[in-house]
Chain A
Amino acid sequence: MIDAVERVTGRIRFSQDASLPGMLHAAAVRSVVPHGRIARVDTAAALEVPGVVAVVTGEDLRRLPGLRPVYGPQIEDQPVVALDRVRYVGDIVALVAAETPRAAQEAAALVTVEYEELPAVFDPLDALEPGAPLLHELEPERPHEGTALYFGIRPQFGTNCCNLFRIRRGDVARGFAEADLVLEETFRTPAIQHVAMEPHAALALWEDGRLTVWSGTQTPFNTRQILAGIFGLPVERVRVVVPPMGGSYGCKVFPRIEPQAALLAYVTGRPVKFVLRRDEEFVTLTRHATVVTIRLGLKRDGRITAREVRAYWNTGAYADCGPDVARKGGFGIVGPYRIPNVAVDSRCVYTNLPPAGAFRGYAVTQATWASESMMDLAADALGLDPLEFRLRNLLRDGETFATGETLHDVHFAECLERAAAAIGWEGPQRRELGDGRVRAKGLAVVMKGMTTPSRSEAKVGVDRSGQVTVYSSTVELGQGARTVLAQLAAEALGVPYQQVRVVDPDTDRTPFDNRTTSSRSTYMMGNAVRQAALALRERLLLAAAQRLEVEPADLELVDGNVRVAGAPASALTFGQLVEATGQEELVEHGEFRNQGGLDPDTGQGIASSHWHQGAGAVEVEVDTRTGKVTILHAHASVYAGQVVNWHTAELQNLGCIVFGVGSALFEELVYDQGQLVNPNLSDYLIPSFLDLPERMTHDLIERPGAEIHGLGETALPPIPAAVGNAVARAIGARVTELPLTPERVLRAIRARDGERG
């Protein structure tokens, strides 16, 4: 990585390090009730605290002219500060700005709020019952579409369902009628948290009627647009700058604290910095908890005749990008299989819990947990080997997916076979070691779409000193984006990539990009950078050809020089060529788009312009006396098409496995009446090095001439499902709910034996 030394020596300036002279510090007052009307907010004591400059409540917000007090990327439902109602424990009721972080925190603790409690609902199925308390009153005639919406959204008005996405293909009734066997099962996953090492951090400044925000965000352009919407400004008067982040994993997708920092800066006229505490991180964004019921129709020979899915995504108090999560999960949950009759109803549901949104794997981890567990249940019911059963049904090149789109460059079977081979699937799949210890193996396949449609632009320039610079709005969150984009530019221009500069995203300086999500950047932005760099190469070749009086075809680019092939003495440096044009910097522009979209009522169309494909395989040991699961070996096979940087690509695969281990075995946010029970890292545990499988292996599958395929998430979703399948094989009973805690596993063993826990 080009910034590895800066990273390990602590010299990188993260968003948390941003500062300005005279800056104030923000703190939030948060709701302690899951649902209630705000009866009274008393800020008097807080305002007395030395150093406090402002305390802003919903009342104050409402009185500010020209402000739109609510925002949201897909549904504008979230107030900058609660206006009259709180909807979850942790909702922001007031904001404080003070000279020091400590004064701000102290003052926030002194704000007293009286609530009239309202009935609350926490489970998505309860929330859809008639008579359930409504979180929001979405109305057809009121605009509910956020600016980051790129698909049709179908709220079920008068209910807590903020999006219903459907797939209708073939005729499931006929499919079930034709089946020899029909299976049905319900699977659950809990809310979990991203636990990025660096918390959310933003710094806002108003200057000459212009708003500038430095923020660790994966979505600079969406954030700019949403801030402009709140403050009633043209987007040109908002600037978002993104320093490198200390991790994100989806929690910094879409505005999270930028509106609040900007509001305080607006009110006080001073720069304001807002950094969340760890316990606040836990109530700011989570991964959707899910309930998924799958019905599967099967022929004795292993063909699948029909699949019906009802999926519920618990999006918490505010929609955030939940509507899209329900949509992506809605088609992700079908799985990469040949199924003539498919019906999916995927609902995004409001509850009185912290908002859920993007999380590495984006809906597909939960979807794969359900669908790949179901595939093993089906294989067992048919008496088929799980590998063989999958291979018979996996989609092949040129076949049609449930959305009606034809798939190309398809490698599911290859990924699965390689994963199976890696853990020795051919050998015994289950072994008893004595003392109640059993070893077993499990598999899972994954199919994940990439944001479609979307667009990335890039500029690549070279200046009079010969410095090559990439201008791109892809953010660096530790994944190595800068390195990979530098490499792609360097390759086209014949310079060492370590000498390429990649500037931080800055909506004033770097061109448009949808966002750094969906494992899209190396492919989408990579192509834009490559195009721009190739155009710059052409320009340098032409300029040199004129000056050296040769044909461009006779020239080559080596180490920052354009020289005549075979006559290295005849050369011009990039800097000389730029100088000769009279300009400071020669800059070329590149753009890359993908196209598609789905009909929200039938799910037909193009879900993804290409597909992230992979498989996971694990061997586990279960102590059947305690229920404790140890993952001995985890393998991930990922289709990469073309690997740009082996080092960072490998780290993505390994990182995904680590995330998978946490999801599979113990990560879970636990709520008691809407109150988070484990908002710290002693009570909410993530994997440590000692929790990693003894063996972690992976494949990156390439094909000559293939497109780059993103791989930041692909290896994660199959891991929990493969672990679940291995555990089921080991104990002869299935745990349908994540995580696979020893207690759940032991209860499943006891239930198998007909005992009650």
Chain B
Amino acid sequence: MAEFAVVEPATVDEVLDLLARYGEEAKPVAGGTWLALVLRQGLLWPSLLVSLRRVSGLAGITVDEVGNLRLGAMTRLRSIETSPLVWERLPVVAETYREVANVRVRYQATVGGNLCDADYASDPPALLTALDARVIAVSQRRWRAIPVRDFILGHYQTVLEPDELVTEVVVPALPPDAGAVYVKYRTRSHEDRPCIGVAAVVVPDAEGRLARAEVVVGAVAERPQRLPEVLDAVRGRALDDASIGEVAERYAAGIDPLSDLRGSAWYRSEMIRVFVERALRAARERAQWEGRQP
């Protein structure tokens, strides 16, 4: 492990000052569950670790005036899974964070750290993309709201500049009749990262057709996969088995998956078909279609 200094600032301003001064040399530490591993493996050599543990105002779960769920960057994954507010507003968010790693990791890892490490085999990014969530990033230069969809660029790479700090993740509310799910599929232990994870959101219109459909496939490529042309094609149609099958088929054909110890590219293609279908069926179950037969 390299030599580095650790500081524990108390305010966001202090953090931003440090990040601006040290640039690439500094790294924020959230839960440290990812950072500790890469430091030990000698993959990163920061000279300054900026602990976010004592920074006030970074942790917490609130609902704003327009009904967005706001998750502070330092909110522990376990806090989301146990939050009555999240279960009330967006249960799928609580369900998804509950599927991450194991309970020991969830007590330590944070919302911000999970997005910022940009590991392809993570669960929340696929769901947050499907929910059209935004990452709030601040620096001494600017304030930005970045759609999660654009936030992760590739393997361990985000659009974040070295002087930027993620302060929160903002998740818009869903219409009350929407159905949303995240289906995580593990090929090895129950504590494993996903071989594939599929987030699906469907919103029916007054006639019982699809007003909105979102399908995002995580952990199969270097960033969450969303195929807008496929989703556009089903909008306005009934969500019957045929259209579900079509989406599943086209996602399987349209994504070029990677191979790792959790499954080969061939296997992942097969699983995209299976789990896009399962996720859409489950989302359909959850949505409110009563009295709106197309």
- Which of B226-234, B260-268, B284-292 interfaces with chain A? B260-268
CB contacts under 8 Å to B, within A645-684, are: 665-666, 670, 677-678, 682-683
- Flag A722-757 by CB within 8 Å of B: 1 or 0 each: 000000000000000000011100100000000001
Residues of A close to B102: CB separation below 8 A: 688
Residues of A close to B267: CB separation below 8 A: 742-743, 746
Q: Name A688's contact: one of B187, B191, B193, B274 (CB within 8 Å).
A: B191
Would you call B155 an interface residue if the criterion is a C-beta within 8 Å of the partner chain's C-beta atoms? no
Would you call B192 an interface residue if the criterion is a C-beta within 8 Å of the partner chain's C-beta atoms? yes
Q: Does the CB pair B190–A683 fall under 8 Å?
A: no
Interface residues of A (CB under 8 A from B): 102, 109, 625-626, 628, 665-666, 670, 677-678, 682-683, 685-688, 690-691, 741-743, 746, 757
Q: Name A685's contact: one of B37, B189, B266 (CB within 8 Å).
A: B189
Would you call B202 an interface residue if the criterion is a C-beta within 8 Å of the partner chain's C-beta atoms? no
Residues of B close to A677: CB separation below 8 A: 261
Q: Does the CB pair A746–B187 fall under 8 Å?
A: no
A-B contact pairs, 23 of them (CB 8 A): A109-B42, A626-B185, A626-B270, A628-B185, A665-B188, A666-B188, A670-B261, A677-B261, A685-B188, A685-B189, A685-B191, A688-B102, A688-B191, A691-B189, A691-B191, A741-B187, A742-B195, A742-B263, A743-B187, A743-B264, A746-B267, A746-B270, A757-B266
Residues of A close to B274: CB separation below 8 A: 625-626
Q: Name B263's contact: one of A109, A625, A743 (CB within 8 Å).
A: A743
Q: Name A666's contact: one of B189, B266, B271 (CB within 8 Å).
A: B189
Taking the closest CB of chain A, its distance from the CB of B265, in whole angstroms, is 11
Q: How far is the CA of A653 from the CA of B261 in the complex (A)?
A: 30
Q: Looking across the interface, which residue of chain B has its beta carbon closest to that of A279? A: B41
Taking the closest CB of chain A, its distance from the CB of B261, in whole angstroms, is 6
Taking the closest CB of chain B, its distance from the CB of A48, in whole angstroms, is 15
Taking the closest CB of chain B, its distance from the CB of A445, in whole angstroms, is 28
Residues of A close to B192: CB separation below 8 A: 685
Q: How far is the CA of A665 from the CA of B195 in the complex (A)?
A: 15
- Whether A690 contacts B188 in the complex (CB less than 8 A), given A626-B274, A677-B261, A743-B263, comes out as no
Taking the closest CB of chain A, its distance from the CB of B12, in whole angstroms, is 31
Q: How far is the CA of A134 from the CA of B195 in the complex (A)?
A: 39
CB contacts under 8 Å to A, within B57-102, are: 102
Residues of B close to A666: CB separation below 8 A: 187-189
Taking the closest CB of chain A, its distance from the CB of B7, in whole angstroms, is 21
Q: How far is the CA of A691 from the CA of B102 in the complex (A)?
A: 12
CB contacts under 8 Å to A, within B14-30, are: none
Q: Does the CB pair A678–B261 fall under 8 Å?
A: yes
Q: How far is the CA of A11 from the CA of B271 in the complex (A)?
A: 48
Residues of B close to A691: CB separation below 8 A: 189-191
Q: Looking across the interface, which residue of chain B has its beta carbon closest to that of A277? A: B40
Q: How far is the CA of A746 from the CA of B102 in the complex (A)?
A: 27
- Whether A688 contacts B264 in the complex (CB less than 8 A), given A626-B274, A746-B270, comes out as no
Taking the closest CB of chain A, its distance from the CB of B214, in whole angstroms, is 23
- Flag B191-211 by CB within 8 Å of A: 1 or 0 each: 111010000000000000000
Q: Looking across the interface, which residue of chain B has its beta carbon closest to that of A750? A: B270
Taking the closest CB of chain B, its distance from the CB of A677, in whole angstroms, is 7
Residues of A close to B1: CB separation below 8 A: 102
Taking the closest CB of chain B, its distance from the CB of A283, in whole angstroms, is 15
Q: How far is the CA of A678 from the CA of B188 in the complex (A)?
A: 13
Looking at A678, A682, A686, which has the most chain B CB atoms within 10 Å of its CB?
A: A682
CB contacts under 8 Å to A, within B247-294, are: 261, 263-264, 266-267, 270-271, 274
Taking the closest CB of chain A, its distance from the CB of B42, in whole angstroms, is 8
- Whether A686 contacts B264 in the complex (CB less than 8 A), given A625-B274, A746-B270, comes out as no
Q: Looking across the interface, which residue of chain A has its beta carbon closest to that of B274? A: A625
Q: Does the CB pair A626–B261 fall under 8 Å?
A: no
Residues of A close to B42: CB separation below 8 A: 109
- Whether A628 contacts B261 in the complex (CB less than 8 A), given A685-B192, A746-B267, A746-B270, comes out as no
Q: Does the CB pair B188–A626 fall under 8 Å?
A: no
Taking the closest CB of chain B, its distance from the CB of A528, in whole angstroms, is 41
Q: Looking across the interface, which residue of chain B has its beta carbon closest to that of A677? A: B261
Residues of B close to A670: CB separation below 8 A: 261
Taking the closest CB of chain A, its distance from the CB of B34, in whole angstroms, is 10
Q: Looking across the interface, which residue of chain A has its beta carbon closest to that of B121? A: A682
Residues of B close to A665: CB separation below 8 A: 188
Taking the closest CB of chain A, its distance from the CB of B224, in whole angstroms, is 20
Residues of A close to B266: CB separation below 8 A: 757
- Whether A690 contacts B190 in the complex (CB less than 8 A), given A626-B271, A743-B264, comes out as yes
Taking the closest CB of chain A, its distance from the CB of B43, in whole angstroms, is 13
CB contacts under 8 Å to A, within B161-202, are: 185, 187-193, 195
Residues of A close to B261: CB separation below 8 A: 670, 677-678, 683
Q: How far is the CA of A742 from the CA of B185 in the complex (A)?
A: 11
Q: Looking across the interface, which residue of chain B has its beta carbon closest to that of A681? A: B191
Q: How far is the CA of A161 from the CA of B82 in the complex (A)?
A: 58
Residues of B close to A757: CB separation below 8 A: 266
Looking at B37, B264, B270, which has the most chain A CB atoms within 10 Å of its CB?
A: B270
Q: How far is the CA of A392 from the CA of B292 in the complex (A)?
A: 64
Q: How far is the CA of A200 from the CA of B185 in the complex (A)?
A: 35
Q: How far is the CA of A665 from the CA of B187 in the complex (A)?
A: 9
Taking the closest CB of chain B, its distance from the CB of A186, in whole angstroms, is 22
Q: How far is the CA of A109 from the CA of B189 in the complex (A)?
A: 33
Q: Does the CB pair A686–B270 fall under 8 Å?
A: no
Q: Does the CB pair A742–B189 fall under 8 Å?
A: no
Q: How far is the CA of A746 from the CA of B193 in the complex (A)?
A: 20
Taking the closest CB of chain B, its distance from the CB of A749, in whole angstroms, is 11
Q: How far is the CA of A665 from the CA of B193 in the complex (A)?
A: 16
Q: Does the CB pair B187–A628 fall under 8 Å?
A: yes
Q: Does the CB pair B263–A688 fall under 8 Å?
A: no
- Flag B29-46 by CB within 8 Å of A: 1 or 0 each: 000000001000010000
Q: Looking across the interface, which residue of chain A has its beta carbon closest to that of B271? A: A626
Q: Looking across the interface, which residue of chain B has its beta carbon closest to that of A689? A: B190
**13 further interface pairs, Cβ-Cβ under 8 Å (given A102-B1, A743-B264):** A626-B271, A626-B274, A628-B185, A666-B187, A666-B189, A682-B193, A685-B189, A685-B191, A691-B190, A741-B187, A742-B187, A742-B263, A746-B267
Residues of B close to A690: CB separation below 8 A: 189-191
Taking the closest CB of chain B, its distance from the CB of A676, in whole angstroms, is 12
Taking the closest CB of chain A, its distance from the CB of B195, in whole angstroms, is 8
Q: How far is the CA of A439 from the CA of B94 in the complex (A)?
A: 32
Taking the closest CB of chain B, its distance from the CB of A479, in whole angstroms, is 24
Q: How far is the CA of A682 from the CA of B261 in the complex (A)?
A: 11
Residues of B close to A109: CB separation below 8 A: 42
Q: Looking across the interface, which residue of chain B has its beta carbon closest to that of A686? A: B189
Taking the closest CB of chain A, its distance from the CB of B266, in whole angstroms, is 6
Q: Looking across the interface, which residue of chain B has its beta carbon closest to that of A668? A: B261
Q: How far is the CA of A81 from the CA of B77 in the complex (A)?
A: 46
Residues of A close to B264: CB separation below 8 A: 743
Residues of A close to B195: CB separation below 8 A: 742
Taking the closest CB of chain A, its distance from the CB of B232, in whole angstroms, is 27
Taking the closest CB of chain B, its distance from the CB of A380, in whole angstroms, is 27
Q: How far is the CA of A626 from the CA of B184 in the complex (A)?
A: 13
Taking the closest CB of chain A, its distance from the CB of B112, in whole angstroms, is 20
Minimum-distance CB pairs A-B, first 7: A690-B190, A685-B189, A666-B188, A743-B267, A688-B191, A685-B188, A742-B187
Q: How far is the CA of A745 from the CA of B35 in the complex (A)?
A: 36
Q: How far is the CA of A694 from the CA of B250 in the complex (A)?
A: 37
Looking at B187, B188, B271, which has the most chain A CB atoms within 10 Å of its CB?
A: B188
Q: Looking across the interface, which residue of chain B has its beta carbon closest to that of A623? A: B274
Q: Does the CB pair A688–B189 fall under 8 Å?
A: yes
Taking the closest CB of chain A, its distance from the CB of B278, in whole angstroms, is 9
